[in-house]
Amino acid sequence: MTEALYEDAGLTLDEDGITIRRYYFLLSVPKRVAYNKIQGIRAKPMSWASGKRRFLGAIKPRYRLPRDVQRASKQTLLILELGRWIKPCITPEDPAKVIALLKTRVG
C-alpha cells in the first residue's frame, strides 16, 4: 500500500484504491477496492433505512456497510458501484474530500 491520500477510522484512500476497514462480518477484516473496479459513486443522505442507527449493515441486503459505531453521527453515505449485486458502502468522516478524490481517480 502506498501513502494515504485520505484516512479516517473506517477507510483509507491511497494511490491505488480504497481499503474499507471492518468490512466482513464476524472477522472484521478489511476489503480492498481498486479504483479501476469502481464504475460509479452515489452519495445519499444517511437515514434509518440506509443504516444510520445501525453499527453494522443496512436494511437493504444489497448494500454492504462495514462495522462503524460512529455511523449515527454521520450524514452522508457513499455507495460504490462495482457492477455487482452487492454494493460496498462507506461513511467517511469527510465525505466531500473523499468524493473529490474519487472523482479524480474513477473513470
Question: Which pLDDT band holds residue 4 (cuts at 50, 70, 90)?
Answer: very high
Domain boundary assignment for the chain: 4-105
Contact 53, 42 (CB under 8 A): no
Note the pLDDT tens digit of each residue in 46-91.
877 666 656 555 556 788 888 888 888 889 999 999 999 999 999 9
Does residue 12 surpass a pLDDT of 60? yes
Looking at residue 26, its pLDDT comes to 73
Does residue 1 surpass a pLDDT of 60? no
Q: Is the dihedral of CA 97, 101, 102, 107 positive or negative?
A: positive
Looking at residue 54, its pLDDT comes to 61
Q: Which amino acid is present at 48?
A: W
